[in-house]
Structure 1
Amino acid sequence: MKVQSLARSVIMATALLGVSSTVFAAGEDPLYPLFQMEMMDKNKDGMVSKKEFMDMMSKAWDMKAKEMKVKGSNMTAEQIKELEKVLGRVLS
């Protein structure tokens, strides 16, 4: 029962995310498409697992790191703040 309730909550949150973030659909942020349900749900079971979500977060990290020309695999505090801003716009 808890799994079904959690799954419904994730689906609803994703649907609300899609509705509230239509501004980004026009391509304002290249990370936006990564966090759409159909992009995250790799096994097409109608749900996003923790692994599927973390895989998308990894892609988002890599994209922003490349954009910000991060040296190596570590971001500075300033770079992390920039990533947080972008994710805040995409995920809210």
Structure 2
Amino acid sequence: MDNGSFHKSLALKCPDNVIPIFQPSHSPELNPIERLWEHIKQALSWQQGKNLDELRKSLKQVLDSISPDAMPTAVNYASICGWNYILSALLSATS
């Protein structure tokens, strides 16, 4: 989380299996979701949808093309978002 006030609300309830890790402000290179958005934007950069429905269809195709499986040859979430230093931070936060 990027230290936004909405991430620090006392009303924010995290499930037991979620570990909040606060990051410095304005550091998208530390946020895995930014890499996913980068991948999506790159895949859609030359698309010229005529309306919102076409954009939604193109976005669904990009998301469907990302395999949830950890196969090394496929484009998967781990290959996009799984940076070693983020994984190390997560492991150290849980131990």
TM-score, normalised relative to structure 2: 0.32
Greater C-alpha Rg? 2
Q: Greater relative contact order (Cα 8 A, min sep 6): structure 1 or 2?
A: 1
More helix by share: 1
Q: TM-score, normalised by structure 1?
A: 0.33
